Structure 1
Amino acid sequence: MTTLNSVWQQLTLTYLSPYQWRNGSLIYRLSGCLRTWRQGSWLMQWGEPLGAVLISLVFGFAPFVGTALIGILLVACAGFWVLLTLCDDPSETAFTPIHLLVLLYWGIALAATALSPVKAAALTGLIKLTLYLLLFFLMARILRSPRIRSIFITFYLHIVLIVSIYGLRQWFFGVEASATWVDPTSAQADLIRVFSYLGNPNLLAGYLLPACALSIAAMFVWEGWLPKALGLTMTAVNCACLVLTFSRGGWIGFVALMFTLAVLLLYWLSINFSPFWRKWAVPIGIGSLAAILILAVLTVPSLRLRVASIFVGREDSSNNFRMNVWAAVLEMIQDRPILGIGPGNNAFNKIYPLYMRPRYSALSAYSVILEIAVETGIIGLTCFLWLLVVTLHQGWLQLQRLRELRNTQGLWLIAAIATIIGMMAHGAVDTVWYRPQVNTLWWLMVALVASFYQPSRQAVVSSNQV
């Protein structure tokens, strides 16, 4: 058991010392080279608030504008992160085990681009990936401040509330929808699927997943009856809007998110429970959620039909489409299993037509796992899964620490962990994750976990010895 525990700790980089990396890193030596200039600059004295404003612009505009403007804002965030890093005191340079895996994943994507059969198209994808990762670096740095973190999350939840209210308006007053969103030969042909400002119900479902978790956390974090009532309203509106997208992938993600959130919230609250409730709170809570879910499916006809369509296989046109795409993608992976075809949808669009089944054109693999494997091969997929394991493990370690301190900021961490699980569950059967409105949210959740990082005592001791 001791050996297995040691292997797990090494796998999850539990005792990695960021200080050791910083002392031997050329990049680290560059950080802080402009800190003297920052001390005399009035503008850079507000570096963290300015960074918060930039990331707020990204998430404030994302659901309402096209990808071009989002790209410009991402470039601005990347530039500001570089400037902030050069101006930082070296001791402030953010580096965690999560950062290490992110850098490794970027290096693999770089190698996949260099060896891609469509290098120009893959280079475009690499540039996009780089902008997302630099946004992660900036967010992980800026959101370390509890005050900035809480203000930013509050701002984000108000933006999502606007999106969700407009989605509910579409449900109540009707909206013209694309015929491709519902199988015209099924009993659901007249089903209204809301899409709000994002133009696609599946995309809207992926966009709303983080807001559902964060709004539930807000009910516990925000103080006073009025803020808590606002949090409750946001929760009801966001969850209702997500359900009314009738996105089956979104529902899968929502169920995974809610079950994870329930377990972690009960764990968080159980520190004040009696012995009986410490033992039975989680089973009772999970059982209650399962009962509510089953009851809803049994009593709401449209919900029941939509859930049933998940299990009919190729009889549903959407299922049949995905299965044909997945078969073609698996052949692509078999032909280039090591480093794939290179990152990005442009590379995918160049290669996929060579493998696709007649009449089943696609812009992506319709599965995050398959998409990563086809873009960066087995090596890239292994690194991504490693990143996922390390992120969740670090989140769990910091959650335990915050729980002992009774620090309510830990509830934001619970929401981030639950969202990561939910988005991966959704991503298993869809790739809206690669749209900037959703991809930025994925890296926000990872950055939230990284922002709570505190090195273990053993890591600090070992770095001092070095």
Structure 2
Amino acid sequence: MTESFKRKEFILPITMGICFGFLYFKLPLSIFAFIFLGFITMIATLYSIKIGICLSVFLMPYLPFTVDLLFMIFILFSYIFKGIFRKIDPFTKETVDIPIVLFVIAIIISTITSIDPKGSLRDLVFQLVSISFVFVIINNIKSKKDLNILLTVFVITASISSLYGVYQYITGLKMTDMWLDKAGNPGIVTRVFSVFDNPNVLAEYLIMTIPISIALLWNSKKVYKKIIFLFTTIILITGLALTYSRGGWLGFTFGIFIFILFTKKRLLLILLPLGLLILPFLPVTILNRILSIKDIADSSTSSRFGIWLTTINIIKDNWIAGVGLGSNPFRNAYRHYSRNSFIYYHAHNTYLQTAVEMGIAGLIVLFMLISIIYKYSIKQLIKGKDKWIKVITSGILSGLTAVFIHSFFDNIFFMPKTIITFWTLISLLLVLLRLSTSSNEVI
């Protein structure tokens, strides 16, 4: 009986070996490698949901958003399947859960009442899957060690993306004329975008990540770790600089201010005047780009004013329920309201975009989410006793602050990758909220 059982143990690996051997000879190497690595990733996720979460965070910038979405759904269902036989706590059971639930209700209603329900469905799926990933993360990352690993993976993959952006700059990658008013920004050869298709999207991703890298550097006790996170921080900031995203730079400045304010506010007395003294010594291209913020004639600035005015007109006529979730309803509405032949897919402002998509009620829900995030984070920063948790909380809150500022100039809910990153940061804050009341673990 024992020998028979041992023989059966070899059936599955032998069968899989035959199948992959057949695929290897029948498929192109690139497709075979994709299938093989995908299979290994699925097995690793089934073995440990934590591995799946880390892989999802690491691979997110590089995978097509459809593949990334499917992988996140796979992780969700894997966790639900494994959780059938154990207790699952949906969220934190704190007030912070309420605006998340209300946000889900708002986007579902916005899809149902949309002027283009089919077009809204695409964005609804992105949002719901990303929010579901919050549920998976907070139920699996339950120790400071696990959180530290996930944060490290997050920073490393962002650094790789940023390095690729630096490579694009060194090789002089051509950019589209839509990304820059060359007449007002002489000397800028390219704006890097790495794997994010647009410099502003890369900037959004980096400003959410840089404060986390700084927080890990701040918390590191070992010299080699400090060197690693100092390197990642420099690479990430360099990548952000080369996006030439003015909104990104402004958001980053506010984010760093928040980080220092909640970690060592005395540094502000040094860094604020130092920052002003450094300004004249910045590269000419960066300095000119900063100064162009006040230039209303700049094509990027003037076009945004036009988009915002048109969006406000749409909101006036659709202030109760909005035109519907996502870029397709907005584009259809914009076509009817704008005198410009060029049609935009979003309002280049997250707050106006939320109001035009979901009405005033949706905007109120978003502000509720933001205010409660700050309330609980600041409560932790003031009353918390764990220094490691306080510094990491400062880093994540700083990343969110940076992207909230950038949201005045772009829509962070337009691209799936920034949607995923935003909700990942929310989940990390919820993890910290749980850890602050239960963990005494030392990193």
Q: TM-score with structure 2 length normalisation?
A: 0.83
Aligned residue for 2:292? 309
Q: Kindly report the root-mean-square deviation, in angstroms, between the aligned alpha carbons of the 2 structures.
A: 2.4
The C-alpha deviation readout for 1:215-258, integer Å capped at 9, x for no partner, is: 11111223310011111111111112111211011111111111
Aligned pair partner of 2:344 in 362, 376, 383: 362
Q: Which amino acid aligns with 1:450?
A: L
Other-structure match for 2:417 = 437
Instruction: State the AA in 1 paired with 2:180.
Output: V
**Which residue of structure 2 lines up, in the alignment, with residue 4 of structure 1?**
none
Q: Is the 8 A contact 1:398 1:454 kept in 2?
A: no
Q: Distance in 2 between matches of 1:151 and 1:425?
A: 28
1:249/1:93 CA distance change after superposition, 3 Å:
closer
The CA deviation at 1:50 is 2.5
- The answer (yes or no) to whether the contact 1:140–1:447 under 8 Å persists in 2 is yes
By how many angstroms is 1:93 displaced? 6.2
Other-structure match for 1:188? 186
Determine which of 65, 73, 77 is the counterpart of 2:71: 73
Offset of residue 56 of structure 1? 2.1
Output the CA distance in 2 between the equivalents of 1:456 and 1:221.
16
Contact persistence 1:262–1:285 (CA under 8 A): yes
Give CA-to-partner distance per residue, 1:252-308, whole Å, 9 cap, x none.
Answer: 111111111111111xxxxxxxxxxxxxxx3x5224333333233322221221111
- Are 1:425 and 2:405 matched, yes or no? yes
* Equivalent residue, structure 1, for 2:315: 333
Q: Distance in 2 between matches of 1:358 and 1:343?
A: 23
1:342 maps to 2:324: yes
DSSP 3-state at the match of 1:197: coil
Paired AA for residue 344 in structure 2 = A
1:393 matched to 2:375: yes
CA–CA separation in structure 2 for the residues paired with 1:339 and 1:135: 27
Greater displacement, 431-440 / 317-326 = 431-440
Q: 2:262 aligned with 1:264, yes or no?
A: yes
Equivalent AA in structure 1 for residue 396 of structure 2: A
| Preserved contact between residue 250 and residue 405 of structure 2 (Cα < 8 Å) | yes
Q: How many residues align?
A: 393
Q: Give the stretch that moved more between structures: 304-313 or 340-349.
A: 340-349
Decide whether aligned partners of structure 1 residues 410 and 49 sit closer, same or farther in structure 2, where only a CA change above 3 A counts: farther
Q: Mark the runs of 5 or more structure 2 residues left unpaired by the alignment.
A: 1-43, 438-443
1:120–1:396 Cα change, 3 Å: same
Partners of 1:389 and 1:379 lie apart in 2 by 15
Q: Indicate the larger mover: 91-100 or 207-216.
A: 91-100
Q: Which residue of 1 aligns with 2:32?
A: none
User: What's the offset of the Cα at 1:99?
Assistant: 2.0
283, 298, 313: which is aligned to 2:280?
298
Q: CA deviation at 1:107?
A: 0.8
C-alpha displacement of 1:330: 0.8
Identity of aligned residues (%): 22
TM superposition score normalised by structure 1: 0.79
8 Å contact from structure 2 (residues 203, 243) kept in 1 = yes
Give CA deviations for 1:337-362 in whole Å, capped at 9, x if unaligned. Answer: 01212212222223221122313321
Query: Is this contact kept in 1: 2:311–2:347, CA < 8 A?
Result: yes
The letter for the 2-side match of 1:412 is I
CA distance in 1, matches of 2:81, 2:96: 22
Q: Is the 8 A contact 2:188 2:285 kept in 1?
A: no
The aligned counterpart of 1:56 is 54
Give deviations 1:387-422, integer Å, cap 9, x for gaps: 1111111112223343x244x133221111111111
Partner residue of 1:165? Answer: 163
CA change 1:318–1:295 in 2 (3 A) is same
Q: Which residue of structure 2 aligns with residue 201 of structure 1?
A: 199
Paired amino acid for 1:422: A
CA-CA distance at 1:386 after TM superposition? 0.5
Contact 1:109 1:343 in 2 (8 A): yes
Q: Equivalent residues in 2 for 1:126-137 (5 A)?
A: 126-137=124-135
Post-superposition offset of 1:423: 0.6
Q: CA deviation at 1:102?
A: 0.5
